[in-house]
């Protein structure tokens, strides 16, 4: 793992410092278009006033900022050394979206069994470059760094394995590329950052999506004709930007009762809170649930508006139906994306379904009551969303 750099006395004065650190590590002063700078400045200023960092958390937050900026610099260094990486368009990618904790990860990793797809492996999201042959990964310093960082995270927060396990070699979310532009809701998930988030919500993420698309092209440069399978819950907040960069995308939107999904997300985020900040954990959880309910209900309403302009490009998948009969859901998805399911791929699906790898690290347990809200209060901002997709009744039906 990279040796930690001591955090500055004031983050807001550390803009040049973080650039100098990354430039020395990467051997490059090219960070791409300067559109990332307002977000980085807003984030650093927020880090001085919003979170209640303890000493260890302050170090981890500083390491994270360095790591994300390093990933951006590595991406542009790789783009320079691989001219023509963006010559081929990303054709009809399959993109899984939805409120977090609605089954997006399970569906994504299940579909990734199909060898006809390529995806964004966790370690390449940290260090973007054309995907090398799998046999070379174990000896790659960047791959080994991601492995070490994940092991350290799970050692510090063991329950996170059950809630949302990640591996360096497995596919992960587009948001890890989007945050390299420093206009991302992820920065409000790691630690308290309300002043940054207020700035973010008033700022376009178009530049972040342009950077993200180029990184996807870069990572897939060695297999430009292979179809992409992508996943990011946060795309539902910006479906218009997603369709702007991928006009012929096939989007799969997952749905679950928000009174189940959003508390699950908050429970996941709260596992990291004591590792970074001091303060009343119960109070923070209550504040976070209200914030996340507002954020994701707004995202659902925004996605509804965009979907009206793209009526044939989005397929709905209900969480309860997927867990009850995943093969039936896969059949419907594959019909939607224009693929068959060969016998060998079907066998791979069945094997993963039977093995239930998402449960190998335990069961993620949480209660909405622990965060000071009732189920009806969590559903109310979503309007008719729960009734429209019959999310409560379908969950009961498949639980019976």
User: What percent of the chain is predicted at pLDDT more than 90?
Assistant: 82
269 domain residue, yes or no: yes
Q: Can you give the CATH number for the domain in which 296 is found?
A: 3.40.50.300
For 303-341, write each residue's pLDDT tens digit: 999 999 998 999 999 999 999 999 999 999 999 999 999
Name the residue range of residue 365's domain.
Answer: 11-399
Residue pair 224/88 in contact by the 8 Å Cβ criterion: yes
Determine the Cα–Cα distance for residues 176 and 172; give it in Å rounded to an integer.
Answer: 8
CA 375 to chain centroid:
25
| 3 pLDDT higher than 70 | no
3 domain residue, yes or no: no
64 domain residue, yes or no: yes
2 domain residue, yes or no: no
Q: Kindly state the average pLDDT of the residues 141-164.
A: 76
Select from 168, 170, 163 the least CA-distant residue to 112: 170
What per-residue confidence (pLDDT) applies to 259? Answer: 96
In sequence order, the 6+-apart residues with CB closer than 8 A to the CB of 38 are 182, 203
351 domain residue, yes or no: yes
State the DSSP string of 237-297: GGHHHHHHH-TT-EEEEEE--HHHHHHHHHHHHHTTHHHHB-S-HHHHHHHHHHHHHHHHH
Select from 312, 397, 247, 285 the least CA-distant residue to 389: 397
pTM exceeds 0.85 for this model: yes
* Number of independent structural domains in the chain: 1
Determine the Cα–Cα distance for residues 245 and 229; give it in Å rounded to an integer.
Answer: 15
Select from 324, 158, 134, 98 the least CA-distant residue to 223: 134
5 domain residue, yes or no: no
244 domain residue, yes or no: yes
For 70-108, write each residue's pLDDT tens digit: 999 999 999 999 999 999 999 999 999 999 999 999 999
What per-residue confidence (pLDDT) applies to 122? Answer: 93
Q: Which residues pair with 254 in a beta bridge?
A: 98, 317
Determine the Cα–Cα distance for residues 169 and 146; give it in Å rounded to an integer.
Answer: 9
Q: How many other CB atoms sit within 10 Å of the CB of residue 100?
A: 26
For 4-58, write each residue's pLDDT tens digit: 799 999 999 999 999 999 999 999 999 999 999 999 999 999 999 999 999 999 9
């Amino acid at each position: 793992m990279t040796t930690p750099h001591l955090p500055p006395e004031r983050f807001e004065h550390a803009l040049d410092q973080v650039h100098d650190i990354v430039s020395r590590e990467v051997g490059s002063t090219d960070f791409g278009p300067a559109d990332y700078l307002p977000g980085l400045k807003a984030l650093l200023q927020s880090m001085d006033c919003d979170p209640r960092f303890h000493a260890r958390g302050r170090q981890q937050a500083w390491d994270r900022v360095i790591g994300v900026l390093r990933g951006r610099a590595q991406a542009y260094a790789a783009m320079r050394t691989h001219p023509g990486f963006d010559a081929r368009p990303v054709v009809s990618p399959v993109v899984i979206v939805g409120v977090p904790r609605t089954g997006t990860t399970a569906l994504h990793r299940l579909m990734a069994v199909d060898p006809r797809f390529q995806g964004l492996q966790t370690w390449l999201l940290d260090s973007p470059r054309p995907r090398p042959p799998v046999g070379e990964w174990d000896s790659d310093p960047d791959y080994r760094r991601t492995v070490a960082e994940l092991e350290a995270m799970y050692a510090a927060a063991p329950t996170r394995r059950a809630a949302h396990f990640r591996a360096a070699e497995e596919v992960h979310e587009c948001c890890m590329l989007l945050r390299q532009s420093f206009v991302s809701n992820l920065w409000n998930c790691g630690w308290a950052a309300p002043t940054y988030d207020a700035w973010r919500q008033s700022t376009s993420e178009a530049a972040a999506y342009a950077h993200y698309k180029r990184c996807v092209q870069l990572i897939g440069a060695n297999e430009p004709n292979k179809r992409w399978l992508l996943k990011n819950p946060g795309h539902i907040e910006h479906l218009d930007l997603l369709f702007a960069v991928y006009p012929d995308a096939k989007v799969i939107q997952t749905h679950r009762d928000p009174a189940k999904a959003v508390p699950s997300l908050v429970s996941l985020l709260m596992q990291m809170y004591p590792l970074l900040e001091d303060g009343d954990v119960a109070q923070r959880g209550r504040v976070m649930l209200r914030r996340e309910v507002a954020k994701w209900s707004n995202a659902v309403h925004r996605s509804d508006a965009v979907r009206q302009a793209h009526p044939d490009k989005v397929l709905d998948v209900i969480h309860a139906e997927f867990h009850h009969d995943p093969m039936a859901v896969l059949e419907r998805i594959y019909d939607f994306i224009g693929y068959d399911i060969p016998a060998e791929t079907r066998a791979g699906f069945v094997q993963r379904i039977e093995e239930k790898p998402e449960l190998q690290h335990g069961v993620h347990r949480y209660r909405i009551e622990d965060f000071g809200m009732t189920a009806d209060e969590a559903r109310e901002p979503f309007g008719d969303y729960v009734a429209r997709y019959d999310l409560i009744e379908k969950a009961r039906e498949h639980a019976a």
